[in-house]
Amino acid sequence: MRVLDGLALLAAATALASTLALEARFHLMRRQVLNADGAALEKLGRHLIVGYSNLDELHALIGRRAIAGVFLSAANVHGLSADDVRRQIGAMQAIRRDQHLPQLWIAADQEGGDVSRLSPPLPRPPRIADILARHPDRADGIAAVRQSAREQGRALADLGVDLNFAPVVDLDRGLVNPGDRYTRIHQRAISNDPDLVTAAAGAYCDGLYEAGVQCTLKHFPGLGRVAADTHLTGANLDVSPSELAQSDWVPFRALMARPDALTMLGHVTLTALDRERPVSFSGAAVAGLLRGDWHYGGILITDDFSMGAVYLSREGLADAAVAAINAGVDLVLVSFDTDQFYTVMHRLLAADREGRLQPQALRQSDERLSRATATLPEPSVSR
């Protein structure tokens, strides 16, 4: 028993030492990021959008010009009034104005229905599919989607939100997996009809744009055929590009031409192009297909890099961020765990010093981001 007690004590001591070492490493990394050269932080920070749990910490990142935008989660607005949220966003943007920098992207995940992270304090908008179901005439349904999006956009813009992570343009393949805890595309998709999805999603983007809010087409290359939940693990899309081009990619190809729309890259692996990396940081998918074959010159933003498909990948989220930017991604989203921002930025700073970030990729991305900020009209409501 004494031997067993000693082994148990040794194991506990080892675990504690390991935890303390990891904690010390994180705090060192955090200090190095916050004390990094300001020009380097600004250069790389314009490619990162982050979530937050502490406003003071967020203000410090904004003050250091270390981020391009902020993602508002349900936790950030819990218990707050619309006026409270408006004041908080105003304080963030005031820091940017004092720095004579463009406004931060202020992003929300306000699809409608269950995925309405800012409701409350905002009213919960209906799902696009539910709006269409209430209107037997297709033209009436499309018009109703646009009107609903316009109202939703005004509510978002009134808070200070200028980017919405919607609409979902993945096709509804009726795929239901009990192990899918978070993605649940069959509950969020508009339809299984590519033409209807294109028309409704386009009307939705029109309505948001009229209120001064940009839309986001998600989640390329389409998650409707994917059973696994990329929040938790990696997932493959084993479908040929030619087949996807006739169905799942129809809405993307049609709507990505819009200058006001961003495109969100999912973390599924498109095995026909790249068996090693998810689309969100795959050179074959981004540089080869989207930037190359499709000649897409709009903004590409990743889904949250804190998700399991990235975090547990061979690269891990830090090297995945390097790969994403080199491939032609403009904005890397780190929305769930703020601590992971430091992991990503620390690796980006090192990669930039070591010449592992491609100057041409950064320059082209900066040009796209500058064009994108110029396309957003002044909101029609007071902020």
Positions marked active-site: 231, 303
Alpha-carbon dihedral 293, 297, 302, 303, rounded to 10 degrees = -90
Rg (CA), the chain: 21
Q: At what angle do helices 316-327 and 339-353 cross, to 10 degrees?
A: 60
Encode burial over 212-228: b for 16+ CB neighbours within 10 A, e otherwise.
bbbbbbbbbbbbbbbeb
Residue 269 pairs in a beta bridge with: 236
Please state, in angstroms and rounded to a whole number, the distance separating the CA atoms of residues 359 and 352.
Answer: 9
Residues with Cβ within 8 Å of 126's Cβ and at least 6 positions away in sequence, in order, are: 112, 113, 148
Residues with Cβ within 8 Å of 315's Cβ and at least 6 positions away in sequence, in order, are: 277, 281, 323
Which stretches does DSSP call E strand in 113-266?
Answer: 115-116, 163-164, 215-220, 236-237, 261-265
Please state, in angstroms and rounded to a whole number, the distance separating the CA atoms of residues 33 and 61.
Answer: 10
Amino acid at 14: T
Q: ∠ at Cα 208 (207, 210), nearest 5°?
A: 65
258's tokens: 């819009």
CB atoms within 10 A of CB 370: 11
By DSSP bridging, strand 69-72 and strand 105-108 are parallel
Residues with Cβ within 8 Å of 5's Cβ and at least 6 positions away in sequence, in order, are: none
By DSSP bridging, strand 332-334 and strand 48-50 are parallel
